[in-house]
Amino acid sequence: MTEPSAGLEQEETEHDVDLIHECVVKMAKEISDFMDITPDKQRMDSLMVAANIRNLSLLELFYTCVANLCKIMDERGTKIPDEQYHYIKKDDYNKCIYHKRDMDATERNVVVMKDADILIKICDSTGDFDDTSEYQLLIRLLKERTIIDDGGSRRLRQKRGS
């Protein structure tokens, strides 16, 4: 064994302290503080990655993006319309995704897309959210997954090959 390894092993044996683990945990904490990373805030591409890894439904993806934008709007003091305020509430995700039996997933997707349009218009009118990852992710999701038809209504893009 090399001298540092022997010293670390001796420290762990004598004092039941894993210095390497403590160092890594401390560094991770300092990096997350420096980068302002919090476990309750997902970054720009983390939802897209999660959607591919966990096969999130499109509804879950749209809902999460809209809810995240609502939360940042609320934090910054922007008035959220009453119809969209539910996205801020803690239990709303489960209610909307899993417990709304009066609408099928397609209908719920349409509702969430309309809510997204309403929130985007508010954000665009103020310009206060252009720099946020929540706004950017929702814009990206809408561009990648939806299209505005000739009648001016937003709808899901057709899958390629169908």
* pLDDT, tens digit, 9 for 90 and up, residues 67-85: 999 999 999 999 999 999 9
The pTM of the whole model exceeds 0.75: no
Q: How far apart are CA 130 and CA 85, in angstroms?
A: 20
Q: In the prediction, which pLDDT does 28 show?
A: 77
Q: How far apart are CA 83 and CA 115, in angstroms?
A: 8
Residue 88 CB neighbour total at 10 angstroms: 14
Q: In the prediction, which pLDDT does 162 show?
A: 47
Q: Return the half-sphere exposure (C-beta side, CA atoms, 13 A cut-off) of residue 69.
A: 32
CA 16 to chain centre: 39
Name residues whose C-beta falls within 8 Å of residue 86's C-beta, 6 or more positions apart in sequence. 92, 95, 96
Helix (H, G, I), strand (E, B) or coil at 46: helix
10-residue stretch averages of pLDDT, the chain, 162 residues long: 66 71 78 72 56 62 95 95 95 85 83 95 94 94 89 79 50
